[in-house]
Structure 1
Amino acid sequence: MVTRSLTLSLTIDESSNKVLFAEVGKDFIDVLFSFLTLPLGTLVRISDKNSIPCLDNLYKSVEDLAGEYFKTAPCKEMLLGPRHAAEIMCLDLWVNLEGNRALCYYTCSRDCRYDYLSLYENAQCDCGCKMSHKVYLPSGSMKNENSEGVFLKGGRYFITDSFSVVPSSIQAAFNLLGGDRKIMSTLMERQVTVGISEVISILKQSLVSEAALTNVFLVKESVNLPEKKNRALAHYSRPELCSDSDSSDGIVSIKLSVDKQKNKVVFAECKEDFIDFLFSFLTYPSGFVIEKLNGISHVPCLDNLYASVLRNTMADCFEATNTKEYLVNPMIPSHFSLNQSLIESEEVHREWKRYYLCRNPDCDSTKVSLIPNMGCKCGCITNKRMKIMDPWSGANGDFSKGFVSDGTYIVTDDLVITPLCSVSTLMRRIVIDDLVEVPFNIGKREALALLEAALTGSLAVLTNVFLSKVEKIEDATSGIDGDCVLV
């Protein structure tokens, strides 16, 4: 495997031992901008589940949930390895964070009369068989021969420690120094070599810090990512996205169990629709989330990347208008939207790309093409048009769009999810004094509030979003007399 690396020129303030900015080429910025296209679940996975606490908990909950609780075989993998709309473009990045130089798809047997491609292994074909034969779309499949980069044209750029990006110039450098000429005497320039491991470290730091470059290149290697207990437990602070809504606006119902003595939501009891909604966070591209939250996701480095794409000084730096849209308005992958979505999203049209395989049933080629009638190694051509299969489709024509099976689930304040039947096993016997049960309807405003609260680093998502509302309606609800015992 070819080792890919490039050089960054760091400008360092020696007096504070801090990276002020780095001068880099388009290849490095392309990779950082690709962070905006990656689903939150992918960011968690690449970060080894040491990123944003509640997102880590959601991801671990999916891992721990037995296969019987998912509607179809691919559903679990859709959450643990979510696909995204820009994944074909990202194959051509200088480094691919997921380690891919080809995208994997799955087909049924060669002689199957249904021309389906599945994004995930073991989806059930309409013929009744499992789709398990691997085929690959190689890198370069979408690249225009006249393109200089993936998202950006050529040129040099400055990127700050907190991920603000501007085209490189003397004036831009002076602006980044705050116009302070005195600081010039404390500046030092250092060249560093960056490969895939450094990029992954930068990604990890960007999720937990506002000094990603400093933490990667200047902090001693023995220093690990911040412990979760040391991360600021930011409180929900944007009431405009969590204002009161009529109960008629609620389309998902839950029951909150509130500890009146400790003034916190202990857990929520809910049906599968609320779990589908929470798990869907893992499929959202980070740029999609930032757009929905009006540019403030509480992950400052990603917010700054997003703002940089929209900056006027960057307007002429992109390969094309549509490449910019992949970053600031990314769509949900085809077939990933829920039937009843609490957060509005636009899904990539299932026919936005056409896929072709060789039609020869005896051919052993595993190459997928986006162009018809290309020559195949067997002497035939790629003229068998394939359709992307809905991963939610099941036997007997069941096309119910949701990740988990029907049932009752428990969601803790920090978004750990378990089936109700396993609560006694996980929690044993817990007695909570002053526990009050409050029914609650969740509408689109509360949905955005939950998404944002999950990103703040707080371990009290349900409390931050719902407690003030519960206090307003508790007079209209009946509490539980005495102690409540979970068995």
Structure 2
Amino acid sequence: MFFITDDLRVMHGLPGDLMNILLNLGINNVCQIEEKVVDISSNEMSNLLSHSLFSKTTLTDVFLRKQSTMFVQQFMLVAPNVKERTEKDSKTRVKIMLRKSDRKILYGEANEDFVDLLFSFLTIPLESALELLGGKGFTVGSISNLLKDLDTIFSITKQNSYQDGILPPFYSFPIELPSICSQQPTKIFHKSYGYLKQSDPKSPILEKTNSRGYFKKKSLFLITDDLVVKSLSSVSSFSLLKETGIPLCDVEQQVISIGEVEALALLRACLCSSSALSALLNLYVKQTVAMFL
């Protein structure tokens, strides 16, 4: 049995630990305490994951306040501990369509490089993602307490590959995140054929050992603000504008560049926000203004 605090600190279910928790909360009278039993469905589990990334009162928000939407403060979306962006750092260009009246992004248009970046986020273990976003400095939510408890309670030894952002062999990693790399494939010994050479399952050429990216080259995609990815066509763009009901006179086009700073900010926005592209645009505008000051 375990005690789990509101900010997701996990400890053994000992009476002394419970007394310390109550005293730290300023509770001296046990009559102030009310007991409730909550049912945890897949929906609550999903909310627990999302709220743990930005909330210090995760259990309260999910089970008592019944919050299912995430409010993200802007300082959370800034990628920490990376140098200021310069033009030579930019790797990928994304064309964005935004509503002029409120500066909200409607969708983006990009080639396979940017979409490879987005889908590469799915290959990064959560612990490695937190390390990339500042390590111990990324303590806005409660998730960091769980990482500490894995060591202190269960004596789990963390592998360096998780902390250093090293992915398994043949996992693609984008050039915008140079701190992530893939392990070299290991040789496999077969008693009849000797040592066998592993081939990248994504590569159309069997002899090639490491292909880059997940998508066919020279492909174009439409990406919505909440990161729904579709094949780009004039029909898909027109249909999206028609669904939103926004007049064409209120639509503006911009082009932004994605380098290491923006890639890390986008990774954090994916974890914390349902409007990731708009959050990225806010960071981009602030950095552009700073460069001219």
Q: TM-score range by the shorter chain?
A: 0.7 to 0.9
Could you tell me which of 149, 153, 174 is aligned with 2:19? 174
Cα offset, 1:439, TM superposition: 2.2
Residue deviations 1:213-263, cap 9 Å, x none? 6799x87xxx9x755xxx133243144538751111111112222332222
Is 2:131 aligned against 1:273? no
Could you tell me which of 278, 283, 291 is aligned with 2:123? 283
Is 2:232 aligned against 1:420? yes
Residue in 2 that maps onto 1:159: 4
CA contact (8 A) 1:413 1:461 kept: yes
Residue in 2 that maps onto 1:332: 167
Give the letter for the 1:338 counterpart: F
CA contact (8 A) 1:309 1:328 kept: no
Cα offset, 1:356, TM superposition: 7.3
Give the letter for the 1:437 counterpart: Q
Residue in 2 that maps onto 1:403: 214
Instruction: Decide which structure has greater helix share.
Output: 2
Alignment gaps of 5+ in structure 1: 1-7, 9-22, 24-157, 361-382, 475-487
Alignment gaps of 5+ in structure 2: none
Residue in 2 that maps onto 1:11: none
Residue in 1 that maps onto 2:202: 392
| In structure 1, distance between residues paired with 2:165 and 2:286 | 37
Is 2:48 aligned against 1:236? no
CA contact (8 A) 1:343 1:448 kept: no
Residue in 1 that maps onto 2:149: 308
Instruction: Name the SS for the 1:440 alignment partner.
Output: strand
CA contact (8 A) 2:98 2:253 kept: yes
| In structure 2, distance between residues paired with 1:173 and 1:185 | 15
Cα offset, 1:450, TM superposition: 0.6
Cα offset, 1:347, TM superposition: 2.9
CA contact (8 A) 2:50 2:271 kept: no
* Rg comparison, structure with higher value: 1
Is 2:155 aligned against 1:318? yes
**TM-score normalized by the length of structure 2:** 0.72
Could you tell me which of 168, 173, 182 is aligned with 1:347? 182
Instruction: Name the SS for the 2:121 alignment partner.
Output: helix
Change (3 A) 1:205 1:462: closer
Structure 2 counterparts to residues 175-194 of structure 1, below 5 A: 175-179=20-24, 180=26, 182-187=28-33
CA contact (8 A) 1:207 1:299 kept: no
Is 2:73 aligned against 1:257? no
Instruction: Name the SS for the 1:290 alignment partner.
Output: helix
Change (3 A) 1:437 1:331: same
Residue deviations 1:435-485, cap 9 Å, x none? 33222221101101111111213x3222222235347759xxxxxxxxxxx
| In structure 1, distance between residues paired with 2:27 and 2:102 | 53
Instruction: Name the SS for the 1:300 alignment partner.
Output: coil
**TM-score normalized by the length of structure 1:** 0.47
Residue in 1 that maps onto 2:87: 247
Compute the RMSD of aligned alpha carbons.
Answer: 4.1
Change (3 A) 1:330 1:439: closer
Q: Percent identity, aligned pairs only?
A: 24
How many residues align? The count is 275
Cα offset, 1:202, TM superposition: 6.6
Change (3 A) 1:164 1:335: same
